[in-house]
Amino acid sequence: MKVSDDCVGCGQCAAYCPFDAITVFGRAAMNENCTECGKCTEYCPVCAISEA
Amino acid sequence: MKAVVIGAGLGGLLAGAKLTKAGYDVEIFERLPFIGGRFTNLPYKGFKLSTGALHMIPHGSRGPLAQTLKEVGADVTIIDSQPMAVILKENNEIISFHDFRNELTLTKQVKLGTILAYSLKFKPKNDISFRDWVLKYFDDEFLLKLADSFCGWALSLTAKDVPAREMLEIIDNMYLYKGSGVPIGGCGAVTDALSQIIRSNGGRIYSQSCVEGISIENDLAKGVIVNGKTIEADIVISDIGHFGTSKLYECKDKEYLDKISNVKPSKGIKICLSSDEPLIGHSGVFFTPFAKRINGINEVTNADPSLAPPGKHLVMSHQAIISDDRKFEIDLGLLDLKQLFPGKKYKVLLIQSYSNGWPVNRASSGSDNGNKTPVRNLYIVGDGAKGKGGIEVEGVAIGVRNVMDEAGVC
């Protein structure tokens, strides 16, 4: 998944990620657990996540 | 009569509940998969974190939000915090918030009483900031730090960014309503109770439903467009702020567009901690005026243990974002926590920051532009159109009340 500069770091994606694949520190970043399932895109309030 | 609400955040839900109670047929459209916006729970590792606001209602069980919840019949229990708030002094002594006066010289204490009484009655009309107001009358280091800590905690701003006029309205409300309280079940209990009221009154709330446009004829709102279909309405209420709303129709009022484009959202960072032992020991606000960045902390599990797994405490710190470097600001916040709770074992659960398109407040306190738009029957609610002197969600409730008065809804 790709995270754009619009990400504010609210952590909603991390909380709803079924694979614990997102860490947040001022902005979201996917780790090696990411399966590209795309669940996070639904929960992003600023539409900052898209498929890589 | 038919009402359509754009956005199911606290403002949209409060407005929806009021409207269904008044007999309107209400439909609410929410873009996200869940209801409640930045005022609901965020389940995380067994904890009930929050999507935005802390699990706190600034004026507790007596304030404008609590009153509005009662009016619509929403079943929410708010536990008023006792103590309301404490202040951590530079020497690590903890004093009750009400005793902050004792930290001033006797002359300044007397002056504070007089100046405050006068200023609350005759609020400054010019653009003086709260920081300059404190400097002008007191020039006191402790008061300046406390002002920043309070403004940072309550408004996510520094005292220099808050107009003194707005801060005095807030102080007025603090005398009137007192503060603060924890809703049992967290923010989510409030927005869930409102959703229930709306649905039991026949209203409908749709998640993952995006409003694509607002249909307008002769400067009068006629409905909204969802999935290419127009849904007609007698009144349209938007909970996505003035700017976001103006993007949903062709707004020709240049003066209005200029005014709403200049509004700056407030930005902040919340650090959520898990601890086996209590770090604070009560559910009141723990103000930290001498920390580098953190403005205040609360430990809501003292009021509602169900917000954390058994045996754990949920502690949340809040800080306004000062520089443009979010990571630097977070590092300073984490360092503050280490210094505030030396030797204490706690775990950082999640660090959440809010700015720009998903801010603390869409319109920072004192910069709100009211609830009206250039379009008749189109109103704005939420944290982009708070009422005067309303801290956070209290301002949202006052804003909704203003819209209902304006639109003639009882």
Query: Would you list the DSSP string of B5-46?
Result: EE--SHHHHHHHHHHHHTT-EEEEE-SSSSSSTTSSEEEETT
Interface test with B, best of A5, A7, A10 (most B CBs within 10 A): A10
Residue B237 and residue B216 in one domain: yes
Whether B195 and B19 have beta carbons less than 8 Å apart is answered as no
Residue B346 and residue B272 in one domain: yes
Cβ pair B327:A25 closer than 8 A: yes
Residue B306 and residue B233 in one domain: no
Helix (H, G, I), strand (E, B) or coil at B144: helix
Please tell me what DSSP assigns to residue A33: T
Residues 6+ apart with CB under 8 A from B315: B272, B273, B274, B275, B279, B280, B297, B298, B299, B346
- What integer pLDDT is reported at residue B258 of this predicted model? 96
Q: Which residues of B touch A41 (CB under 8 A)?
A: none
Rg (CA), chain A: 9
Distance between CA atoms of B203 and A46, rounded to whole angstroms?
27
**Domain end position, chosen among B327, B354, B381:** B354
Q: Which residues of B touch A42 (CB under 8 A)?
A: 32-33, 208
CATH of the domain at A34: 3.30.70.20
Residue B329 and residue B377 in one domain: no
Q: Is A10 on the interface with B (CB under 8 A)?
A: yes
**Domain end position, chosen among B177, B196, B216:** B177
- The reply to whether B92 falls in a domain is no
Q: Is A46 on the interface with B (CB under 8 A)?
A: yes
Beta partners for residue B272, in sequence order: B316, B350
- The reply to whether B325 falls in a domain is yes
Q: Which residues of A touch B44 (CB under 8 A)?
A: 14-15
Domains in chain B: how many in total? 3
Residues 6+ apart with CB under 8 A from A17: A39, A40
In chain B, count H helices and then E strands. Answer: 11, 19
Residue B23 and residue B170 in one domain: no
Beta strands B211-217 and B25-29, pairing class? unpaired
- The reply to whether B75 falls in a domain is yes
Residue B282 and residue B314 in one domain: yes
From A43's Cα to the closest Cα of chain B, the distance in A is 6
Provide the token pair at B85: 């708030």
Cβ pair A15:B49 closer than 8 A: yes
Query: How would you write the pLDDT of chain B (410 residues) with one tens digit per residue?
Result: 999 999 999 999 999 999 999 999 999 999 999 999 999 999 999 999 999 999 999 999 999 999 999 999 999 999 999 999 999 999 999 999 999 999 999 999 999 999 999 988 888 877 899 999 999 999 999 999 999 999 999 999 999 999 999 999 999 999 899 889 999 999 999 999 999 999 999 999 999 999 999 999 999 999 999 999 999 999 999 999 999 999 999 999 999 999 999 898 999 999 999 999 999 999 999 999 999 999 999 999 999 999 999 999 999 999 999 999 999 999 999 999 999 999 999 999 999 999 999 999 999 988 899 999 999 999 999 999 998 889 999 999 999 999 999 999 97
| Nearest residue, CB atoms, B352 vs list A11, A43, A46 | A11
Interface test with B, best of A6, A16, A22, A25 (most B CBs within 10 A): A25
**Domain end position, chosen among B127, B150, B177:** B177
- Please give the residue range of the domain that contains residue B126: 98-177
User: How many interchain CB pairs under 8 A, A with B?
Assistant: 59
- The reply to whether B90 falls in a domain is no
Beta partners for residue B220, in sequence order: B217, B376
- What integer pLDDT is reported at residue B374 of this predicted model? 97
Residue B314 and residue B389 in one domain: no
From B326's Cα to the closest Cα of chain A, the distance in A is 5
Cβ pair B358:A14 closer than 8 A: no
Residue B167 and residue B33 in one domain: no
What is the H or E stretch that residue B320 is in? strand B313-320
Residue B190 and residue B242 in one domain: yes
CATH of the domain at B393: 3.50.50.60
- The reply to whether B87 falls in a domain is no
CATH of the domain at B274: 3.90.660.50
**What is the per-residue burial (b if ≥16 Cβ within 10 Å, else e) of B72-85?**
bebebebbbbeebb
- The reply to whether B88 falls in a domain is no
Provide the token pair at B42: 């965020």
Give B139: exposed, middle or buried? Use CB within 10 Å, 0-12, 13-18, 19+.
exposed
Q: Is A27 on the interface with B (CB under 8 A)?
A: yes
How far is CA B260 from each of CA B235, B247, B369, B370, B406, rounded to the nearest angstrom?
21, 12, 7, 10, 20
Q: To the nearest 10°, report the CA torsion of B377, B194, B36, B65.
A: 80
ipTM over 0.95: yes
Domains in chain A: how many in total? 1
Q: What is the pLDDT of residues A7-38, one digit of tens each?
A: 999 999 999 999 999 999 999 999 999 999 99
From B210's Cα to the closest Cα of chain A, the distance in A is 12
- The reply to whether B215 falls in a domain is yes
* Strand stretches in B97-185, DSSP E: 181-183
- The reply to whether B86 falls in a domain is no
Query: Would you list the DSSP string of B248-275?
Result: TTT---HHHHHHHHTPPPB-EEEEEEEE
Residue B323 and residue B337 in one domain: yes
Residue B64 and residue B193 in one domain: yes
| Nearest residue, CB atoms, B352 vs list A6, A10, A46 | A10
- What integer pLDDT is reported at residue B124 of this predicted model? 86
Residue B289 and residue B345 in one domain: yes
From B165's Cα to the closest Cα of chain A, the distance in A is 30
